Amino acid sequence: MPNIHDNPNRTEWTNKIAALKTVAEGHAFLTNFRAQHVSVFRTDFSLELDWLWIENKIEEKVALLKHAEFNDAQFLTNCTCGKNAQAVADEVLAKMEACTDMYEAERIHINFRLACKPPIMPVNVFLDTDRQLGTKLMELRNTDYYALPLEELRKVRGVKVITLQ
């Protein structure tokens, strides 16, 4: 009986994931995948139905590689790129604190999630940083965020409306 997860896209990506042997390889592979296929800024829409499943499988592999290569202290304090997680968090928090534009704040928050979402950054540091970034973003948006008419909001955000005929 065929498995519902079997398809050519998933098989191809499963083989690529299996070839990863180090945390450094896994880190580069995962961040590149997220940039191309996951975010609102993605450049490739070819994995529209499979990207979430594939991202999960890459994250599993990176977590296993991290567990194998990192000691306990590194596991709780370092990102998979080798940098200290709190230093990375402090850098992005300082950037957000200096930000006064809600659209730039959104970009900072989104890019942080793409670059640091676990297993790249330890969960204990990621969650607290994500909370602080989200709080600042909501403060910048304030209660008048949706006061703009839809067409003006689209223009300000650079939305391209695609209509199907």
- Tens digit of each residue's pLDDT, the chain (165 residues): 567 667 888 999 999 999 999 999 999 999 999 999 998 888 888 888 899 999 999 999 999 999 999 999 999 999 999 999 999 999 999 999 999 998 899 999 999 999 999 999 999 999 999 999 999 998 888 767 677 788 888 888 788 888 887
Residue 84 bridge partners (DSSP): 78
Q: What integer pLDDT is reported at residue 2 of this predicted model?
A: 66
What is the CATH code of the structural domain delimited by 1-69? 1.20.1280.10
User: CA-CA distance, 50 to 58, in Å (whole number)?
Assistant: 12
Q: Where are the domains of the chain?
A: 1-69, 77-165
> Is 27 exposed, middle or buried, given 0-12, 13-18 or 19+ CB atoms closer than 10 A?
buried
Domain 1-69 and domain 77-165, same fold? Reply is yes
- Domain 77-165 homologous superfamily, CATH: Methane monooxygenase, gamma chain, domain 2 (1.20.1280.30)
Q: What integer pLDDT is reported at residue 145 of this predicted model?
A: 63
Q: What is the rounded end-to-end Cα distance, in angstroms, of the chain?
A: 39
- The single-letter code of the amino acid at 109 is H
User: CA-CA distance, 161 to 151, in Å (whole number)?
Assistant: 10
Query: What is the pTM for the complete model shown?
Result: 0.82
Residue 80 DSSP label: T
Helix, strand or coil, per DSSP, at residue 61 = helix
Q: How does DSSP assign 19-59, residue by residue? A: T--SHHHHHHHHHHHHHHHTSTT-S--TTTTTHHHHHHHHH
